[in-house]
Structures are given as C-alpha cells and as structure tokens.
Amino acid sequence: MKAWNVLPIACALFVAACGEASSNEHQESLDVLAEVVTDGDLVIRFKKIGDEGILISEVGPGDVPSVVTHYVMEEQATALEMFLALAPDQDVPQELIADHGRISGDAPRALAAPTPRFAAVSATEYATNCAYSSDGPWFDNLWASNGWTWHWYQNVTAPFPIAGYNSPNKTASNFISHLCNYSVSHEGVGHYVYNTQYVDGSYPVEVGHRSVVTVSSVSGTWRAQAAGPNYGTGTVRLGAMAP
C-alpha cells in the first residue's frame, strides 16, 4: 500500500461559481489547512471556518467507500483525530489542534487506518437506482443508533433551479451532507454546505463521483445544496444528516 499524499496548502481555495445556478449571497472561500489523497483517489480537505471550527470535504469515485463518513459517524472523530489517522507522519496544522482542544478536554485518540464500507453513506450507494424507499429504514436504524436522528434525502433531476436545489434548513452544531452524481455530465455539479456566514464544498463533482462535506461543533442553521449550470441534465442524489 502506498503512503497517503498530504499536500499542505498555503492559499485559500476559492469556491467555483456555478454560472447562474447558485444564489448563495454569503458564498465565501475557506482557507485549506491540508489536503490528503488516499489510495482510493479520495481527495480530503481540511478547511478553517472563521475564528473556530473545521469544515472537511471529500470527493472521489463513487465506487470507493467514504473515509470521512466512516470517521464522523462510526468513530465520532474530531478533525484532528481524523487527520492523525489519515496522515500520521505529517505535520499537524495548529488549527486542528486548537479545534480538538475546543471540543474535547482529552488527548486525541489514536484511531486505526480506515476500513470504511459503503453503508457509511448509503445502503445502495453504488447503485444508480438508489432511492429513499430502499435507504429510508437503513438511515433510521444505522444513523439514529449513532445519535444522528435527523436526515433528509432526495434524488434530484437536473437542470437545477437558478437558486440550486436545497435541503431544508437544520439548526445544529454537527452537520454532514453527501452528493452522488449519477449522470450530470456538463461541467459537473457543485455540492455545498452553508449557513448564513460560511459556505464551501466540492466543485466540480463529476459523473460517477461522490462528495461528502461535514462540519463539527460549529453552531448554525445549515443547509446542503446541489448546483450547476441550468442547462445541464441528469440525476444526482443529495442527502443531509444531523444529530
């Protein structure tokens, strides 16, 4: 197994505008603290939110289980614990250390390298006919048993509305969203998580790829969004969960 590739990034990552598809009046770019590329070609970015808090995004092939969702749901890991498990030999951004101290008074746990499974995102994540009818009971049982009792899930057909396709608002301090792009090929799809102050995510999420975006211990009214050129066609799945 090759080593994880970790790419500290000194400059901000600018969230790409999606033509006229998104009307996020609060759209901002967040500083990227570090980037990890896994053996399965998942690109995981740790980003700073304001004075405190970390946003984590992951994008990669849809047939590779999500690492981020595994650590968030099944390990209840902080951003620091996740980074240490993914890149144990790399320099740790001070912002991750500060974030862990804000959340927990304990030393970070030494978590094992991930052994994620598809069920961390969806019971039928790898299938193009994935639907709420098949995943709804699974969400209720698996996520709720880990304390994530609110979820929203929808198959969405492009072209998207000018304002993007949005999940309901959820007031929470922990929030996670996933988007699977099944067939929207023209310029890809933007996947964003935002509240009234901060917005970031993944763009473009290409056909056959999945994006996961999460925030931890950052209070706000959160919403997930799928956005893209209003002349693109195809299907994506957009989901959001919170405790």
User: Does residue 120 sit within a domain?
Assistant: no
User: Tokens 């500290």 appear where?
Assistant: 8
User: Does residue 24 sit within a domain?
Assistant: no
154: pLDDT strictly greater than 70? yes
Render pLDDT for 89-98 as a digit per residue (tens, 0 to 9): 889 999 999 9
Render pLDDT for 198-216 as a digit per residue (tens, 0 to 9): 788 888 899 989 899 999 8
Nearest Cα neighbor of 6 from 34, 41, 31 is 34
User: Does residue 124 sit within a domain?
Assistant: no
Residue scoring higher pLDDT (126 or 116): 116
User: Does residue 70 sit within a domain?
Assistant: yes
Range of lowest pLDDT (9-23, 88-102, 126-140): 9-23
Render pLDDT for 19-51 as a digit per residue (tens, 0 to 9): 333 433 334 468 899 999 998 899 999 999 877
User: Tokens 């600018």 appear where?
Assistant: 14
* Region class of 208: left (phi > 0), else alpha (psi between -120 and 50), else beta: left
CA distance 11 to 32: 7
Q: Which two tokens stand for residue 5?
A: 């590739």
CA distance 172 to 148: 11
Total length of the chain: 243
Q: How many domains does the chain have?
A: 1
User: Does residue 125 sit within a domain?
Assistant: no
Which residues span the domain enclosing 53?
Answer: 5-18+32-114+130-242
User: Does residue 235 sit within a domain?
Assistant: yes
Say if CB 195 and CB 52 are below 8 A apart.
Answer: no
Q: What is the CATH number of the domain that holds 64?
A: 2.60.120.380
User: Does residue 121 sit within a domain?
Assistant: no
Cis omega before residue 88 (within 30°)? Answer: no
User: CA–CA distance from 3 to each of 32, 57, 233 (Å)?
Assistant: 21, 20, 38
User: Does residue 72 sit within a domain?
Assistant: yes
